[in-house]
Amino acid sequence: MGAWWGAAFPPGLFTYAFMVNAWLAGTAIAIAAALVGFFVVLRGQSFMAHAIPQSAFAGAAAAVLLGLNPLAGMAVGSGAIALGIALLGRGRGEGIATAMVLVLGLGMGNLFLTMAGVYAPEVFGLLFGQLVGISAAEVREIAVLALVLLGAFAFAARPLLFASAMPQTAAARGRSPAAMRIVFALLVALTATLTVPVVGALLAFSLMVAPAAAAAQVARSPAAAMAAGVAIALLSVWMSIVIAYDTNLPIGFVVSAVCALGYVTARTWRRMRDRRPGALAGAAAAGA
Amino acid sequence: MPWWRYLWAPGLATSGQVELALVVGTTVAVVSAVVGFFVVVRAQAFLGHALSDMGATGAAGAALVGVQALWGFLAGGLAAGLTVEAGSERAHDRDLATGVTLSFTLGLSALFLQLITQDTSHAGVTQAILFGSIFTVAPSIEPAMIALGLAAIALVAVLFRPLLFASLTPETARARGVPVRLVGILFLLAVVTAVEQSALVVGALLSTALLVGPAAAASRLTDRPGAAIAVAVVIAVGAVWLGVGLAYDSYLWPPAGRGWPVSFLVTAVVFLVYVATRLGRRAPTGGADPTEAV
């Protein structure tokens, strides 16, 4: 057993300071992204989960140009982009609004980088990301932001669930769909601010979409879907850290591959379950 | 220097670089606007954007094995597009199938870029893929991209009536015997061709801006499909010409001598037109307006 164990979990995986930070940051981010991901999947808003982290780098680029804190720039940028999408888009027009705000954000990011005239690898690092090389100070920042996000989530989850699952009833009861769109978009923006500076836009997107999507295939209630999403995200991130450490593959690739595999497995499992006789009730519950 | 020199810089009308940029940009604009009309009607903006990133992954893979970038773009877009199509038997699955496929393709891109550069700082490659530059197009690529653009427009022209029917009222079309799924797959081929030829020369950013923006603006202005396509083409071509002209001028703007990126300028023009049509009067009857809530 010794040889196999030593190959999969080589020395330093749990003891090097940078690996400890990667474990801590990865765990916090997985939980936050999977929770918000529940609503991304329920509302069918993968595009927003892609667009907000990716174009939010415009804020960081502007901050670099003005000599300000990139994290603050990121927060302001992603908030502005989220509001833009929520205000411009509704119904079928939402995809168009998301695309337009995304390209404007990317274009402005490109403009700010050109104006600053700097070769800014740290800004481009925001796109593909890294999990190693996180400092202890950044882990503390992430922990604080994750707590803020959890607080906001606890506050918003009930009305948002109501508005997302039963839009007509919610509107009839006086809950403004526009307000709920803004709340949801700001949750995604907060998750982007939390995750992108550390792991990049790609990982933020993967973790917000795939684990929750896999959970939705197998879970039969909102609470179960949230719990399953968090469990799948944690498992994916932990597995990916080990694989990336062992093989030296880029973490963005490993996480997205593991997450995609999880989703495909869950969908296959659902299809097989649906084919079984007498499985109609379960399928209806899962599909709802 | 007279003020108008800031808007009409010396040499604007005679520069060969500007001329090539205008030819390439006009091709991309026309093809994107025509195909984009149906992308907007079918609410497939996400897929339209995702295909440009997916094509870029294919291009990175092509660079790895030493094949021309154009084939990488096409192969990447086709493989990813068909994967999405296969994963969305139910309409509700489409968003997630696109999202998960896009996230995996972007991850693959990270892997390819690491293998190409054997280095953690692949900032230059990322920048080129995302933003491209219409001013750095190799003249040799011009015939291939014009041919692909014509192929995409021809496919849309052949499909026009069943595609419109299947896009506006899929249930009725299915009942009348239109093969909705097949039409959707054939249209996907047109989208892949259009998006990849534009992503190759102008980058993912401009590709999406020109695919979605002009068509969305046009469909707010008129209900008639033919008129909407014509208006979209005018908006797209106008935005590209204005953007290229302004980018050429911008070498005279602050910060001195650096020039503003053309992708930003074209996108900004498209965005302003889109927002202006959103703010303006609603489309006359509103019934067939695809950007309106359903």
Q: For residue range A177-227, list pLDDT tens digits in order.
A: 788 888 889 999 988 888 887 777 888 889 999 999 999 988 888 899 999
Give the one of B130, B255, B292 whose C-beta lies nearest to A115's C-beta.
B255
- The DSSP-derived string for A4-17 is HHHHHS-TTTTTSH
Domain boundaries, chain B: 17-279
218-257 of A, contacting B, C-beta below 8 A: 249-250, 252-257
Cβ separation B261–A206 shorter than 8 A: no
Q: What share of chain A is helix, strand, coil (3-state, %, to 5)?
A: 85, 0, 15
Cβ separation A100–B270 shorter than 8 A: yes
Which chain B positions have a beta carbon within 8 Å of A119's beta carbon? 123
Q: Give the residue from B180, B214, B218, B212 showing the smallest Cα distance to B195.
A: B212
pLDDT given for residue A288 in this prediction? 41
Q: Give the residue from B207, B275, B191, B216 showing the smallest Cα distance to B240.
A: B207
Residue of B248 and A85 predicted with greater confidence: A85
- Name the residue in chain B with its Cα closest to that of A106: B205
Q: Give the residue from B104, B77, B98, B87 showing the smallest Cα distance to B188.
A: B77
Look up residue B258 and give its two tokens: 């650096």
Q: Give the residue from B245, B244, B272 showing the smallest Cα distance to B4.
A: B245
Cβ separation A47–B95 shorter than 8 A: yes
Cβ separation B99–A120 shorter than 8 A: no
Which chain A positions have a beta carbon within 8 Å of B108's beta carbon? 253, 256-257
pLDDT given for residue B100 in this prediction? 92
pLDDT given for residue B127 in this prediction? 59
Whether A96 has its CB under 8 Å from any CB of chain B: the answer is yes
In a domain, A1, yes or no: no
In a domain, A203, yes or no: yes
What ipTM was predicted for this assembly? 0.86
Task: Establish how many alpha carbons lie within 13 A of residue B158's alpha carbon, considering only the half-sphere containing its beta carbon.
Answer: 11
* pLDDT > 70 in chain A, percent: 87
Residue of A20 and A233 predicted with greater confidence: A233
Task: State the CATH number of the domain containing residue A276.
Answer: 1.10.3470.10
66-95 of A, contacting B, C-beta below 8 A: 88, 90-93, 95
Q: Domain range spanning residue A191?
A: 15-287
Q: Cα dihedral sign for A167, A168, A169, A174? A: positive
Cβ separation A103–B106 shorter than 8 A: no
Q: What angle do CA B161, B164, B170 make, to 5 degrees?
A: 120
- Name the residue in chain B with its Cα closest to that of A50: B99
Answer for the pair B252, B6: CB distance below 8 angstroms, yes or no: yes
- For chain A, how many structural domains are there in total? 1
Q: Is the pLDDT of residue A115 over 70?
A: yes
**CATH domain B17-279 topology:** ABC transporter involved in vitamin B12 uptake, BtuC (1.10.3470)
Whether A44 has its CB under 8 Å from any CB of chain B: the answer is yes
Q: Cα dihedral sign for B262, B265, B266, B268? A: positive
Q: Is B36 in a helix, a strand, or coil? A: helix
Which chain A positions have a beta carbon within 8 Å of B44's beta carbon? 95
Distance, CA of A209 to CA of A215 (rounded, Å): 10
Question: Lowest-pLDDT range, A130-139, B42-51, B213-222?
Answer: A130-139
Distance of CA B142 to the CA centre of its chain: 17
Look up residue B170 and give its two tokens: 């899929």
Answer for the pair B250, B260: CB distance below 8 angstroms, yes or no: yes
pLDDT given for residue B22 in this prediction? 84
Question: Considering chain B, what is the average pLDDT of its residues?
Answer: 82
pLDDT given for residue A127 in this prediction? 64
Cα distance between the two ends of chain A = 46
In a domain, A228, yes or no: yes
Distance, CA of B202 to CA of B267 (rounded, Å): 12
Cβ separation B255–A91 shorter than 8 A: no
- The DSSP-derived string for B181-242 is HHHHHHHHHHHHHHHHHHHHHHHHHHHHHHHHHHHHHHHHH-S-HHHHHHHHHHHHHHHHHH
Distance, CA of A122 to CA of A138 (rounded, Å): 15
pLDDT given for residue B6 in this prediction? 61
Give the one of A44, A110, A213 whose C-beta lies nearest to B261's C-beta.
A110
H helices present in B66-141, as ranges:
69-86, 93-117, 123-131
**A265 burial level (CB within 10 Å; 0-12, 13-18, 19+):** middle
> Whose structure tokens read 């029917």?
B165
pTM check: above 0.90: no
Question: Considering chain A, what is the average pLDDT of its residues?
Answer: 82
Give the one of B109, B120, B291 whose C-beta lies nearest to A96's C-beta.
B291
Question: Lowest-pLDDT range, A147-151, A211-215, A271-275?
Answer: A271-275
In a domain, A9, yes or no: no
CA dihedral B159, B160, B161, B165 (to 10 degrees): 90
In a domain, A213, yes or no: yes
Distance, CA of A15 to CA of A20 (rounded, Å): 6
Which chain A positions have a beta carbon within 8 Å of B271's beta carbon? 100, 103-104
Q: For residue range B183-227, list pLDDT tens digits in order.
A: 999 999 999 999 998 888 778 888 999 999 999 999 999 989 999
Distance, CA of B245 to CA of B239 (rounded, Å): 10
Cβ separation B46–A209 shorter than 8 A: no
Average pLDDT on A279-284 reads 50
Rounded to the nearest 10 degrees, the angle between the axes of helix A121-128 and helix A70-88 is 50
